[in-house]
Structure 1
Amino acid sequence: MGWVTEVAAVPKTAPQAHTVMISAGHSDTDPGAVARGVTEAEIVLEFRDLLSQALARQGIRHLTDGDAGDNLPLREAVKIAAGADIAIEFHCNAATPAATGTETLSRRSAYPLAGRLCEVTAAVLGIASRGTKPEDAGQHHRLAFVSDGGGIIHELFFLTNAGDLQQYMLHREVLADRLARVIAEHARDDKR
Protein backbone atom coordinates (compact mmCIF):
# COMPACT_ATOMS: atom_id res chain seq x y z
CA MET A 1 0.00 0.00 0.00
CA GLY A 2 1.27 3.44 -0.78
CA TRP A 3 0.61 6.76 -2.37
CA VAL A 4 0.56 6.61 -6.15
CA THR A 5 1.34 9.60 -8.31
CA GLU A 6 2.90 10.34 -11.67
CA VAL A 7 4.41 13.78 -12.12
CA ALA A 8 5.19 13.74 -15.85
CA ALA A 9 1.59 13.85 -17.09
CA VAL A 10 0.00 16.15 -14.50
CA PRO A 11 -2.56 18.43 -16.17
CA LYS A 12 -2.75 22.10 -15.16
CA THR A 13 -5.91 22.15 -13.06
CA ALA A 14 -7.14 23.02 -9.59
CA PRO A 15 -5.16 21.47 -6.74
CA GLN A 16 -6.38 18.29 -5.12
CA ALA A 17 -8.56 19.10 -2.10
CA HIS A 18 -9.61 15.60 -0.99
CA THR A 19 -7.80 12.34 -0.36
CA VAL A 20 -8.69 9.39 -2.60
CA MET A 21 -8.54 5.64 -2.05
CA ILE A 22 -9.51 2.91 -4.53
CA SER A 23 -9.95 -0.75 -3.68
CA ALA A 24 -10.33 -4.06 -5.50
CA GLY A 25 -13.03 -6.20 -3.94
CA HIS A 26 -12.25 -9.82 -3.17
CA SER A 27 -8.90 -11.60 -3.40
CA ASP A 28 -7.17 -14.91 -4.05
CA THR A 29 -8.72 -16.31 -0.85
CA ASP A 30 -12.19 -14.93 -1.67
CA PRO A 31 -12.61 -14.78 -5.46
CA GLY A 32 -16.20 -13.49 -5.33
CA ALA A 33 -18.41 -14.36 -8.27
CA VAL A 34 -17.08 -16.87 -10.79
CA ALA A 35 -18.59 -16.92 -14.27
CA ARG A 36 -17.58 -17.25 -17.89
CA GLY A 37 -14.06 -18.37 -17.04
CA VAL A 38 -13.11 -15.38 -14.87
CA THR A 39 -13.42 -14.40 -11.24
CA GLU A 40 -14.73 -11.17 -9.82
CA ALA A 41 -11.41 -10.76 -7.98
CA GLU A 42 -9.43 -10.90 -11.26
CA ILE A 43 -11.69 -8.36 -12.96
CA VAL A 44 -11.72 -5.78 -10.17
CA LEU A 45 -8.01 -6.08 -9.38
CA GLU A 46 -7.18 -5.39 -13.02
CA PHE A 47 -9.66 -2.51 -13.06
CA ARG A 48 -8.30 -0.97 -9.86
CA ASP A 49 -4.83 -1.01 -11.38
CA LEU A 50 -6.05 0.55 -14.66
CA LEU A 51 -7.89 3.23 -12.68
CA SER A 52 -4.82 3.87 -10.53
CA GLN A 53 -2.78 4.56 -13.66
CA ALA A 54 -5.53 6.82 -15.03
CA LEU A 55 -5.74 8.76 -11.75
CA ALA A 56 -1.97 9.25 -11.81
CA ARG A 57 -2.23 10.66 -15.34
CA GLN A 58 -4.84 13.10 -13.96
CA GLY A 59 -2.36 14.15 -11.27
CA ILE A 60 -4.46 12.69 -8.45
CA ARG A 61 -2.51 11.29 -5.52
CA HIS A 62 -4.33 8.26 -4.20
CA LEU A 63 -4.07 5.19 -2.04
CA THR A 64 -4.79 1.65 -3.15
CA ASP A 65 -5.48 -1.47 -1.11
CA GLY A 66 -2.25 -3.08 -2.29
CA ASP A 67 0.48 -2.83 -4.87
CA ALA A 68 -0.23 -3.36 -8.58
CA GLY A 69 -1.44 -6.92 -9.13
CA ASP A 70 -2.15 -7.52 -5.43
CA ASN A 71 -4.69 -6.41 -2.87
CA LEU A 72 -4.94 -6.43 0.89
CA PRO A 73 -7.65 -8.22 2.89
CA LEU A 74 -10.93 -6.35 3.34
CA ARG A 75 -10.23 -5.49 6.98
CA GLU A 76 -7.13 -3.56 5.85
CA ALA A 77 -8.95 -1.89 2.93
CA VAL A 78 -11.68 -0.69 5.31
CA LYS A 79 -9.09 0.94 7.57
CA ILE A 80 -7.51 2.76 4.63
CA ALA A 81 -10.92 3.82 3.30
CA ALA A 82 -11.92 5.26 6.68
CA GLY A 83 -9.01 7.71 6.43
CA ALA A 84 -9.85 8.93 2.92
CA ASP A 85 -12.33 11.60 1.86
CA ILE A 86 -13.26 9.62 -1.26
CA ALA A 87 -13.07 5.81 -1.12
CA ILE A 88 -14.38 3.50 -3.84
CA GLU A 89 -14.30 -0.29 -3.92
CA PHE A 90 -15.02 -2.15 -7.14
CA HIS A 91 -17.09 -5.31 -7.48
CA CYS A 92 -19.10 -7.20 -10.08
CA ASN A 93 -22.69 -8.27 -9.57
CA ALA A 94 -23.88 -11.83 -10.22
CA ALA A 95 -27.40 -13.12 -10.78
CA THR A 96 -29.30 -14.71 -13.65
CA PRO A 97 -27.71 -14.46 -17.12
CA ALA A 98 -30.32 -11.84 -18.10
CA ALA A 99 -29.51 -9.43 -15.22
CA THR A 100 -27.58 -6.40 -16.44
CA GLY A 101 -26.42 -2.97 -15.40
CA THR A 102 -24.23 -1.01 -13.03
CA GLU A 103 -25.02 0.34 -9.56
CA THR A 104 -23.48 1.76 -6.42
CA LEU A 105 -24.03 1.19 -2.71
CA SER A 106 -23.23 4.05 -0.36
CA ARG A 107 -24.40 6.47 2.28
CA ARG A 108 -26.71 9.22 1.04
CA SER A 109 -23.96 11.80 1.41
CA ALA A 110 -21.99 9.98 -1.33
CA TYR A 111 -24.91 9.81 -3.80
CA PRO A 112 -23.69 12.69 -6.02
CA LEU A 113 -20.36 10.97 -6.77
CA ALA A 114 -21.93 7.50 -6.76
CA GLY A 115 -24.53 8.64 -9.27
CA ARG A 116 -21.86 10.04 -11.62
CA LEU A 117 -19.95 6.74 -11.41
CA CYS A 118 -23.12 4.90 -12.49
CA GLU A 119 -23.89 7.34 -15.31
CA VAL A 120 -20.40 7.17 -16.77
CA THR A 121 -20.12 3.39 -16.43
CA ALA A 122 -23.52 2.88 -18.08
CA ALA A 123 -22.61 5.22 -20.94
CA VAL A 124 -19.17 3.71 -21.61
CA LEU A 125 -20.33 0.08 -21.40
CA GLY A 126 -23.70 0.65 -23.05
CA ILE A 127 -25.58 -0.97 -20.17
CA ALA A 128 -28.33 0.21 -17.85
CA SER A 129 -27.67 2.31 -14.79
CA ARG A 130 -29.40 0.67 -11.83
CA GLY A 131 -28.57 3.81 -9.85
CA THR A 132 -27.40 4.71 -6.39
CA LYS A 133 -28.66 2.60 -3.50
CA PRO A 134 -28.22 2.44 0.24
CA GLU A 135 -25.54 0.08 1.49
CA ASP A 136 -27.98 -2.65 2.54
CA ALA A 137 -29.52 -2.93 -0.96
CA GLY A 138 -26.94 -5.15 -2.64
CA GLN A 139 -25.16 -8.44 -2.25
CA HIS A 140 -21.94 -6.76 -1.12
CA HIS A 141 -23.52 -4.85 1.79
CA ARG A 142 -21.97 -7.16 4.35
CA LEU A 143 -18.44 -6.15 3.37
CA ALA A 144 -18.41 -3.11 5.71
CA PHE A 145 -16.65 -0.93 3.13
CA VAL A 146 -19.54 1.52 3.37
CA SER A 147 -20.59 1.21 7.00
CA ASP A 148 -17.10 1.01 8.53
CA GLY A 149 -15.04 2.65 5.80
CA GLY A 150 -17.45 5.36 4.65
CA GLY A 151 -16.84 4.43 1.03
CA ILE A 152 -18.76 3.66 -2.12
CA ILE A 153 -19.14 0.14 -3.49
CA HIS A 154 -19.33 0.30 -7.27
CA GLU A 155 -20.80 -2.78 -8.94
CA LEU A 156 -19.31 -2.31 -12.41
CA PHE A 157 -21.53 -4.81 -14.26
CA PHE A 158 -23.02 -8.30 -13.99
CA LEU A 159 -20.28 -10.89 -14.44
CA THR A 160 -22.97 -13.48 -15.17
CA ASN A 161 -24.21 -11.52 -18.20
CA ALA A 162 -22.23 -12.34 -21.36
CA GLY A 163 -23.00 -8.95 -22.93
CA ASP A 164 -21.97 -6.97 -19.84
CA LEU A 165 -18.68 -8.89 -19.61
CA GLN A 166 -17.96 -8.44 -23.30
CA GLN A 167 -18.62 -4.69 -23.11
CA TYR A 168 -16.32 -4.42 -20.10
CA MET A 169 -13.53 -6.36 -21.80
CA LEU A 170 -13.77 -4.15 -24.90
CA HIS A 171 -13.97 -0.82 -23.05
CA ARG A 172 -12.18 -1.27 -19.71
CA GLU A 173 -9.34 1.17 -20.49
CA VAL A 174 -11.80 3.86 -21.64
CA LEU A 175 -13.92 3.21 -18.54
CA ALA A 176 -10.89 3.62 -16.25
CA ASP A 177 -9.99 6.88 -17.98
CA ARG A 178 -13.52 8.32 -17.77
CA LEU A 179 -14.02 7.30 -14.14
CA ALA A 180 -10.62 8.80 -13.28
CA ARG A 181 -11.86 12.12 -14.69
CA VAL A 182 -15.00 11.97 -12.53
CA ILE A 183 -13.01 11.10 -9.40
CA ALA A 184 -10.44 13.82 -10.16
CA GLU A 185 -13.19 16.40 -10.51
CA HIS A 186 -14.58 15.45 -7.10
CA ALA A 187 -11.12 15.31 -5.54
CA ARG A 188 -10.35 18.85 -6.73
CA ASP A 189 -13.69 20.37 -5.71
CA ASP A 190 -12.93 22.24 -2.49
CA LYS A 191 -16.65 23.01 -1.94
CA ARG A 192 -17.56 19.38 -1.21
Structure 2
Amino acid sequence: MKLIDNWKQAWKLKSVQVGALSAFFYALMYAAFELLWLFGSNFPQFWAAVPQEIKELLPHSWVLWLGFLNNILSVISRLKYQPELHDVNQFVTITAGHSNSDPGAVNGKYKEAELVRQFRNAVAHYLAAAGLTYKTDGAGTINLPLTNAIALAKGASIAIEFHMNASTNSQANGIETIALPKDKILAQKLSKAVADVFGSRLRGQNGWIDQSESARGRLGFINAGGLIVELGFISNATELATFHSKYWSAAKAVAQVIIEHEKALT
Protein backbone atom coordinates (compact mmCIF):
# COMPACT_ATOMS: atom_id res chain seq x y z
CA MET A 1 0.00 0.00 0.00
CA LYS A 2 1.41 3.39 -1.07
CA LEU A 3 0.82 6.41 1.16
CA ILE A 4 0.33 9.98 -0.01
CA ASP A 5 3.47 12.09 -0.28
CA ASN A 6 2.75 14.30 2.74
CA TRP A 7 1.26 11.59 4.93
CA LYS A 8 3.27 12.82 7.93
CA GLN A 9 1.28 16.07 7.80
CA ALA A 10 -2.04 14.27 7.32
CA TRP A 11 -3.26 15.37 10.75
CA LYS A 12 -3.64 18.87 9.27
CA LEU A 13 -6.22 17.66 6.74
CA LYS A 14 -9.84 18.44 7.66
CA SER A 15 -11.03 15.03 6.47
CA VAL A 16 -8.54 13.29 8.73
CA GLN A 17 -9.43 15.52 11.69
CA VAL A 18 -13.14 14.86 11.26
CA GLY A 19 -12.51 11.13 10.85
CA ALA A 20 -10.34 10.99 13.94
CA LEU A 21 -12.85 13.00 15.94
CA SER A 22 -15.65 10.69 14.86
CA ALA A 23 -13.59 7.63 15.76
CA PHE A 24 -12.83 9.14 19.16
CA PHE A 25 -16.48 9.73 19.95
CA TYR A 26 -17.47 6.29 18.66
CA ALA A 27 -14.86 4.77 20.96
CA LEU A 28 -16.09 6.95 23.82
CA MET A 29 -19.70 5.92 23.28
CA TYR A 30 -18.63 2.27 22.99
CA ALA A 31 -16.82 2.57 26.31
CA ALA A 32 -19.86 4.23 27.83
CA PHE A 33 -22.16 1.42 26.75
CA GLU A 34 -19.65 -1.19 27.91
CA LEU A 35 -19.51 0.44 31.34
CA LEU A 36 -23.30 0.71 31.38
CA TRP A 37 -23.46 -3.01 30.64
CA LEU A 38 -20.89 -3.72 33.34
CA PHE A 39 -22.31 -1.49 36.05
CA GLY A 40 -25.91 -1.21 34.86
CA SER A 41 -27.30 2.27 35.49
CA ASN A 42 -25.25 2.52 38.70
CA PHE A 43 -21.99 3.92 37.28
CA PRO A 44 -22.81 7.54 38.20
CA GLN A 45 -23.47 6.41 41.78
CA PHE A 46 -20.28 4.31 41.66
CA TRP A 47 -18.16 7.25 40.50
CA ALA A 48 -19.73 9.55 43.07
CA ALA A 49 -18.89 7.04 45.79
CA VAL A 50 -15.18 6.91 44.89
CA PRO A 51 -13.33 8.76 47.70
CA GLN A 52 -11.75 12.06 46.69
CA GLU A 53 -8.34 10.81 47.92
CA ILE A 54 -8.49 7.99 45.33
CA LYS A 55 -9.49 10.39 42.57
CA GLU A 56 -6.50 12.59 43.46
CA LEU A 57 -4.16 9.64 42.93
CA LEU A 58 -5.35 9.29 39.33
CA PRO A 59 -3.76 11.32 36.54
CA HIS A 60 -5.59 14.62 36.10
CA SER A 61 -6.52 13.76 32.51
CA TRP A 62 -8.08 10.47 33.69
CA VAL A 63 -10.25 12.27 36.21
CA LEU A 64 -11.42 14.72 33.54
CA TRP A 65 -12.29 11.96 31.08
CA LEU A 66 -13.96 9.78 33.71
CA GLY A 67 -16.00 12.76 34.82
CA PHE A 68 -16.98 13.39 31.20
CA LEU A 69 -17.82 9.71 30.79
CA ASN A 70 -19.85 9.86 33.98
CA ASN A 71 -21.96 12.66 32.48
CA ILE A 72 -22.58 10.61 29.34
CA LEU A 73 -23.56 7.55 31.37
CA SER A 74 -25.91 9.68 33.46
CA VAL A 75 -27.76 10.67 30.30
CA ILE A 76 -27.80 7.10 28.94
CA SER A 77 -29.00 5.63 32.22
CA ARG A 78 -31.79 8.23 32.32
CA LEU A 79 -32.91 7.16 28.83
CA LYS A 80 -32.66 3.47 29.68
CA TYR A 81 -36.00 1.81 30.30
CA GLN A 82 -36.44 1.25 34.04
CA PRO A 83 -39.29 -1.16 34.91
CA GLU A 84 -39.25 -0.03 38.52
CA LEU A 85 -40.31 3.43 37.33
CA HIS A 86 -42.75 2.43 34.62
CA ASP A 87 -44.32 -0.85 35.62
CA VAL A 88 -46.02 0.54 38.70
CA ASN A 89 -49.00 -1.58 39.78
CA GLN A 90 -48.77 -3.69 36.64
CA PHE A 91 -50.35 -6.80 38.05
CA VAL A 92 -53.94 -7.95 38.25
CA THR A 93 -55.70 -9.21 41.37
CA ILE A 94 -58.53 -11.73 41.04
CA THR A 95 -60.17 -13.12 44.13
CA ALA A 96 -63.06 -15.37 45.10
CA GLY A 97 -65.72 -14.08 47.45
CA HIS A 98 -66.11 -15.42 50.98
CA SER A 99 -63.60 -18.10 52.02
CA ASN A 100 -63.01 -21.72 53.00
CA SER A 101 -64.58 -20.95 56.36
CA ASP A 102 -67.42 -18.76 55.02
CA PRO A 103 -69.54 -20.51 52.36
CA GLY A 104 -71.57 -17.43 51.40
CA ALA A 105 -74.98 -18.12 49.85
CA VAL A 106 -76.03 -21.77 49.61
CA ASN A 107 -78.42 -23.62 47.30
CA GLY A 108 -78.65 -27.29 48.25
CA LYS A 109 -75.19 -28.78 47.96
CA TYR A 110 -73.81 -25.76 46.11
CA LYS A 111 -71.93 -23.07 48.02
CA GLU A 112 -71.16 -19.63 46.65
CA ALA A 113 -67.58 -19.66 47.94
CA GLU A 114 -66.84 -22.89 46.06
CA LEU A 115 -68.45 -21.79 42.78
CA VAL A 116 -66.70 -18.43 42.63
CA ARG A 117 -63.42 -20.13 43.56
CA GLN A 118 -63.83 -22.29 40.45
CA PHE A 119 -64.49 -19.18 38.38
CA ARG A 120 -61.43 -17.43 39.84
CA ASN A 121 -59.26 -20.41 38.94
CA ALA A 122 -60.61 -20.43 35.38
CA VAL A 123 -59.91 -16.72 34.91
CA ALA A 124 -56.40 -17.23 36.33
CA HIS A 125 -55.84 -20.01 33.80
CA TYR A 126 -56.57 -17.67 30.88
CA LEU A 127 -54.53 -14.82 32.34
CA ALA A 128 -51.56 -17.14 32.76
CA ALA A 129 -51.95 -18.35 29.16
CA ALA A 130 -51.81 -14.72 28.03
CA GLY A 131 -48.65 -14.12 30.06
CA LEU A 132 -50.30 -11.56 32.33
CA THR A 133 -48.95 -11.02 35.83
CA TYR A 134 -51.65 -11.66 38.41
CA LYS A 135 -52.20 -12.45 42.07
CA THR A 136 -55.00 -14.41 43.69
CA ASP A 137 -56.32 -15.13 47.17
CA GLY A 138 -55.47 -18.78 46.78
CA ALA A 139 -55.12 -21.54 44.22
CA GLY A 140 -56.99 -24.78 43.66
CA THR A 141 -59.39 -25.30 46.55
CA ILE A 142 -57.89 -22.50 48.65
CA ASN A 143 -60.05 -19.41 49.18
CA LEU A 144 -58.48 -17.04 51.70
CA PRO A 145 -60.49 -14.58 53.85
CA LEU A 146 -61.52 -11.10 52.74
CA THR A 147 -58.62 -9.43 54.55
CA ASN A 148 -56.20 -11.12 52.16
CA ALA A 149 -58.22 -10.05 49.13
CA ILE A 150 -58.29 -6.43 50.30
CA ALA A 151 -54.52 -6.43 50.82
CA LEU A 152 -54.01 -7.68 47.26
CA ALA A 153 -56.47 -5.17 45.82
CA LYS A 154 -54.55 -2.20 47.19
CA GLY A 155 -51.48 -2.92 45.08
CA ALA A 156 -53.10 -3.89 41.78
CA SER A 157 -53.78 -2.02 38.56
CA ILE A 158 -57.15 -3.78 38.52
CA ALA A 159 -58.71 -5.92 41.27
CA ILE A 160 -61.79 -8.08 40.72
CA GLU A 161 -63.64 -10.31 43.14
CA PHE A 162 -66.29 -12.80 42.09
CA HIS A 163 -69.55 -13.44 43.93
CA MET A 164 -73.02 -14.85 43.27
CA ASN A 165 -76.24 -13.14 44.27
CA ALA A 166 -79.04 -14.78 46.24
CA SER A 167 -82.69 -13.90 46.79
CA THR A 168 -85.80 -15.31 48.40
CA ASN A 169 -87.37 -14.79 44.96
CA SER A 170 -86.23 -17.82 42.97
CA GLN A 171 -86.87 -15.91 39.72
CA ALA A 172 -84.46 -13.07 40.52
CA ASN A 173 -81.76 -13.04 37.85
CA GLY A 174 -79.12 -11.06 36.03
CA ILE A 175 -75.48 -10.02 36.08
CA GLU A 176 -74.04 -6.96 37.77
CA THR A 177 -70.72 -5.47 38.82
CA ILE A 178 -70.54 -3.26 41.90
CA ALA A 179 -67.89 -0.56 41.64
CA LEU A 180 -67.08 3.09 42.26
CA PRO A 181 -68.08 5.62 39.55
CA LYS A 182 -64.51 5.82 38.28
CA ASP A 183 -64.73 2.15 37.25
CA LYS A 184 -68.18 2.35 35.64
CA ILE A 185 -67.05 1.54 32.09
CA LEU A 186 -64.90 -1.38 33.18
CA ALA A 187 -67.73 -2.69 35.36
CA GLN A 188 -70.12 -2.60 32.41
CA LYS A 189 -67.63 -4.45 30.21
CA LEU A 190 -67.14 -7.18 32.79
CA SER A 191 -70.88 -7.65 33.31
CA LYS A 192 -71.54 -7.76 29.57
CA ALA A 193 -68.78 -10.34 29.06
CA VAL A 194 -70.50 -12.68 31.54
CA ALA A 195 -74.06 -11.90 30.45
CA ASP A 196 -73.29 -12.52 26.77
CA VAL A 197 -72.02 -16.01 27.55
CA PHE A 198 -74.72 -16.91 30.06
CA GLY A 199 -77.53 -15.35 28.04
CA SER A 200 -78.49 -13.26 31.07
CA ARG A 201 -79.81 -9.74 31.43
CA LEU A 202 -77.77 -6.83 32.78
CA ARG A 203 -78.80 -5.34 36.09
CA GLY A 204 -78.34 -1.74 37.21
CA GLN A 205 -76.95 0.70 34.63
CA ASN A 206 -76.02 -1.69 31.83
CA GLY A 207 -74.36 -3.99 34.32
CA TRP A 208 -72.89 -1.38 36.67
CA ILE A 209 -74.17 -0.68 40.17
CA ASP A 210 -72.68 2.18 42.14
CA GLN A 211 -71.59 1.04 45.58
CA SER A 212 -73.74 3.78 47.09
CA GLU A 213 -76.80 2.13 45.53
CA SER A 214 -75.87 -1.42 46.50
CA ALA A 215 -77.95 -3.21 49.11
CA ARG A 216 -74.67 -4.24 50.74
CA GLY A 217 -73.60 -0.66 51.42
CA ARG A 218 -69.90 0.19 51.66
CA LEU A 219 -67.66 -2.77 50.90
CA GLY A 220 -64.04 -3.12 51.96
CA PHE A 221 -62.87 -4.62 48.67
CA ILE A 222 -64.38 -1.80 46.64
CA ASN A 223 -63.05 0.86 49.00
CA ALA A 224 -59.62 -0.67 48.36
CA GLY A 225 -60.09 0.03 44.64
CA GLY A 226 -61.64 -3.25 43.53
CA LEU A 227 -64.74 -4.32 41.60
CA ILE A 228 -67.17 -7.07 42.60
CA VAL A 229 -68.71 -9.12 39.79
CA GLU A 230 -71.95 -10.92 40.66
CA LEU A 231 -72.09 -13.96 38.38
CA GLY A 232 -75.84 -14.46 38.53
CA PHE A 233 -78.16 -15.79 41.24
CA ILE A 234 -77.26 -19.03 42.99
CA SER A 235 -80.88 -19.09 44.16
CA ASN A 236 -82.13 -19.26 40.56
CA ALA A 237 -82.08 -22.86 39.32
CA THR A 238 -81.72 -21.82 35.68
CA GLU A 239 -78.83 -19.45 36.28
CA LEU A 240 -77.12 -21.97 38.54
CA ALA A 241 -77.35 -24.63 35.81
CA THR A 242 -76.03 -22.17 33.23
CA PHE A 243 -73.11 -21.30 35.47
CA HIS A 244 -72.13 -24.97 35.74
CA SER A 245 -72.26 -25.53 31.98
CA LYS A 246 -70.67 -22.30 30.77
CA TYR A 247 -68.46 -20.84 33.48
CA TRP A 248 -65.24 -21.67 31.63
CA SER A 249 -66.42 -19.70 28.59
CA ALA A 250 -67.53 -16.80 30.79
CA ALA A 251 -64.17 -16.84 32.57
CA LYS A 252 -62.40 -16.63 29.21
CA ALA A 253 -64.54 -13.61 28.26
CA VAL A 254 -63.77 -11.90 31.58
CA ALA A 255 -60.06 -12.61 31.15
CA GLN A 256 -60.16 -10.98 27.72
CA VAL A 257 -61.68 -7.81 29.21
CA ILE A 258 -58.90 -7.76 31.81
CA ILE A 259 -56.19 -8.31 29.18
CA GLU A 260 -57.48 -5.48 27.01
CA HIS A 261 -57.69 -3.21 30.05
CA GLU A 262 -54.06 -3.94 30.94
CA LYS A 263 -52.87 -3.35 27.37
CA ALA A 264 -54.47 0.07 27.45
CA LEU A 265 -52.36 0.96 30.51
CA THR A 266 -49.02 0.19 28.85
| Structure-1 separation of matches of 2:139 and 2:161 | 15
Contact 2:100/2:144, CA 8 A, preserved across alignment: no
Q: Which structure carries more strand by proportion? A: 1
RMSD, aligned CA: 1.8
User: C-alpha offsets along residues 106-155 of structure 1, whole Å, 9 cap, x if unaligned?
Assistant: 111111111001111111001111120111333444541001x2100000
What's the TM-score once normalised by structure 1's chain length? Answer: 0.86
Contact 1:26/1:41, CA 8 A, preserved across alignment: yes
Cα offset, 1:93, TM superposition: 0.2
Q: Please give the secondary structure, in 2, of the residue aligned with 1:146.
A: helix
User: C-alpha offsets along residues 17-69 of structure 1, whole Å, 9 cap, x if unaligned?
Assistant: 83210000011221110014201001001110111001111221101012322
Contact 1:103/1:118, CA 8 A, preserved across alignment: yes
Structure 2 residue runs of 5 or longer lacking an equivalent are 1-86
Alpha carbons of structure 1 residues 141 and 188: separation in structure 2 relative to 1, 3 Å: farther
Structure 1 residue runs of 5 or longer lacking an equivalent are 1-14
Q: Which residue number corresponds to residue 9 of structure 1?
A: none
Contact 1:104/1:132, CA 8 A, preserved across alignment: yes
Cα offset, 1:84, TM superposition: 0.5
Greater RCO structure (CA 8 Å; 6+ sep): 1
Q: Which residue number corresponds to residue 81 of structure 2?
A: none
What's the TM-score once normalised by structure 2's chain length? Answer: 0.63
| Structure-2 separation of matches of 1:27 and 1:190 | 31
Q: Which structure carries more helix by proportion? A: 2
| Structure-1 separation of matches of 2:214 and 2:240 | 19
Q: Which residue number corresponds to residue 245 of structure 2?
A: 170
* Number of residue equivalences: 176
Task: Determine if the alignment matches structure 1 residue 137 to structure 2 residue 209.
Answer: no
1:61-100 correspondence runs (5 A): 61-95=133-167, 96-100=169-173
| Structure-1 separation of matches of 2:216 and 2:131 | 30
1:46-57 correspondence runs (5 A): 46-57=118-129
2:93 to 4, 10, 21: 21
Q: Please give the secondary structure, in 2, of the residue aligned with 1:104.
A: strand
Deviation larger for 48-57 or 66-75:
66-75
| Structure-1 separation of matches of 2:232 and 2:210 | 18
Deviation larger for 90-99 or 31-40:
31-40
| Structure-1 separation of matches of 2:164 and 2:100 | 15
Q: Please give the secondary structure, in 1, of the residue aligned with 2:131.
A: coil
Structure 1 or 2, whichever has the larger Rg, is 2
Contact 1:36/1:160, CA 8 A, preserved across alignment: no
